Structure 1
C-alpha cells in the first residue's frame, strides 16, 4: 500500500481537526504545515513530526506532498488558492471558498486555468446521517420535497470576533451548509428560485424561498436571522420522510407510520469532528484513483450561486 503525504495550509482549529482525521488513517502522514502564525504552525507540526514551512512554495517543494488541506479564513482563501493552485497536488479547501459568490467564481476559474483538481470540505455532506439519508433515497425515483431550516445570528458572529465583511456575507460563510443540502438532495439543474420572504440586509429577519429542480424535486428554504430557530433538514418522497434534527441524527418515517424512528449514528462522528474522518477517507480514495463523494469545487460554487439567488445577491455582495 502506498503511503500518502498530506500538507496543511493553516494552523487554526479546522486545520488541527483535519490533520487529526488524516493522521488517523493507515498509510497517511502529515508531512508539512504552513501557517500565518509560526508558533501555531510549529505546535501543529510537532504533533505529527511534520516540517514547518514559511511559504506554500516551500511546503510543496520540501514535502512533495500528494495532497494539501487549505484551512484558512474566507478573506484569505482567494490569495492562498492562487499560490496553492500553482502546484500539482490534490486540494481539499475548507468552506466557504471565498467570502462571496464573486470570489468563489474567481477561485473556480483559477483552478480550471491551472488544471487543479480541488474539493471543498462541506462536511455536512459527509455526516453519517446524511449518507444514511442518501442510502434511504437511492432506490426511489419519486419526486422529493426538501425542507431546510436555517438560523444565523450576526450579533453573535460579531461578538465571536468575525470580521465585518464576513458577517455581512454570513449566508456564504455559514448558511452555505444548509443551502448545500438543497443541491445535495435535489436532482437535476435548478430551474427556478422564487424568494417569498426577501433578505433585507439593513434589518435582518426572515428569509424564505422555493427552489425548483429539473427533476421535479422542490426545495423550501427558511431562515431566521438574529432570532431563535434550529438547523434542520427533511426530505419526503412517496414512501418515506427523512428528518435530520439535529443534523447529526437521522429519523425515518415510512409510509403508513406515525412516528420517526431514529437511526443509530456512526460512532466515528463522535470520535472526530463530524464528517471529517469520512472526508479524509474520500480524499485518500481520490488519490488512489477511486470515485469520491466529496463536493467538487464546481459543486460547491453551484451551491454558492444558489445561496446568492435565494438571498437576491447575484452579482453583488451581501452588504
Structure 2
C-alpha cells in the first residue's frame, strides 16, 4: 500500500488540528513542518517526530511530499500560496483564501498560472451534519428556501489579537463559513442579491440580504454584528425542513410532522475538530486521483464573491 506524504505550513492552532487529523490516517505520514515561528514549528514537529524546515522550497526538495496543508494567517496567504504553487503537490489551504475578495482572486489567478491543484478547508462543508443534510435533500428536487442566521463580533476579534485589516474584513474571515452554505446547498447561479438591511461599516449592526438563484432556490441571510445571536442553517423544500442549530447537529421535520427529530451525529466530529478528519480523508482521495468532496479554490472564491455582494463590498466585475 502506498504511503502518502503530507507536509504542513504553519504551526498554530489550526495547523495542530490538521496534523492530528492527518496523523490518524493509516496510509499517511506527516512529512515535515515549516513555519515562520521556529519554536512553534519545533513543538509541532516533535509531537509527530518529523523534521522542521526553514523554507517551503527546502521542505519540498527534502520530502517530495504529495500534498501540503497551508494553515497560516489571512494576511500571509498570498505570499505563502505563491511559494507553495511552485511545486507539484496538492494544496489544501485553510480558510479564508485571502483577507478579502481581491486577495482571493490573486491567489486563484496564481494557481491557474502555475496549474496548481488547490482546495480550501471550509470545514463546515465536511461536518457530518452537513453531509447528512445534503443526503436528505437529494431525494427531493423541489425549490429550496435556505435561511442562515449569523452572529459576528469585531470587538471580540480585536480583543483576541486579530490584526486590524482582518477585523475590518471579518465577514471574509468568519461569516464565510455560513455564506458558503448558499454555494453548495442552493442550486444554479446567483441571479440577484437584494439588500433588506445593508452593511454599514461605520456602525455595524444588522445585515439582511435575499439571494435568488437560477434554479428557483432562495437564500435569506441575516446577521447581528456586535450583538448576541446563534449560528444556524435551515433548509425547507416541499417534503421536509432541515435545521442545523448548532451547525454540528442536524434535525429533520418531515411534511405532516409537527416537531423536529434529531439525527444521530457521527462520533468522528467529537473525536477531532469537526470536519477535519473527513477533510483529511478527502485530501487522500484527491491524491489517489478521485474527485474529492472538498471546496476547490474556484468554488471558495465564488463564495468570497457572494460574501462581497451580500456586504456590498464589490467584486472583480
Class of the TM-score when normalised by the shorter of the 2 chains: over 0.9
Contact persistence 2:309–2:315 (CA under 8 A): no
Equivalent in the alignment of 1:13: 13
Equivalent in the alignment of 1:194: 194
User: Per-residue deviation at 1:292?
Assistant: 1.1
Contact persistence 2:206–2:223 (CA under 8 A): yes
Secondary structure class of the residue paired with 1:224:
strand
Contact persistence 1:6–1:30 (CA under 8 A): yes
Secondary structure class of the residue paired with 2:215:
coil
User: Per-residue deviation at 1:61?
Assistant: 0.5
**Within 1, Cα distance between the matches of 2:227 and 2:17?**
30
RMSD over aligned Cα atoms: 0.8
> Pairwise mapping of residues 1-319 of structure 1 onto structure 2 (< 5 A)?
1-315=1-315
User: Per-residue deviation at 1:50?
Assistant: 1.1
User: Per-residue deviation at 1:315?
Assistant: 3.9
In the alignment of these two chains, the number of paired residues is: 316
The Cα offsets for residues 58-110 of structure 1, whole Å up to 9 and x where unpaired, read as: 01101110000000000000010010000000000000000000000000000
The Cα offsets for residues 143-192 of structure 1, whole Å up to 9 and x where unpaired, read as: 00000000000111101111110000000000000100111100011111
Gaps in structure 2 of 5+ consecutive residues: none
**Within 2, Cα distance between the matches of 1:13 and 1:155?**
21
Contact persistence 1:31–1:49 (CA under 8 A): no
Secondary structure class of the residue paired with 1:41:
helix
Contact persistence 1:118–1:297 (CA under 8 A): yes
Secondary structure class of the residue paired with 1:174:
helix
User: Per-residue deviation at 1:39?
Assistant: 1.0
Contact persistence 2:305–2:315 (CA under 8 A): no
Gaps in structure 1 of 5+ consecutive residues: none
**Within 2, Cα distance between the matches of 1:112 and 1:315?**
19
* TM-score in terms of structure 2 length: 0.99
User: Per-residue deviation at 1:195?
Assistant: 1.1
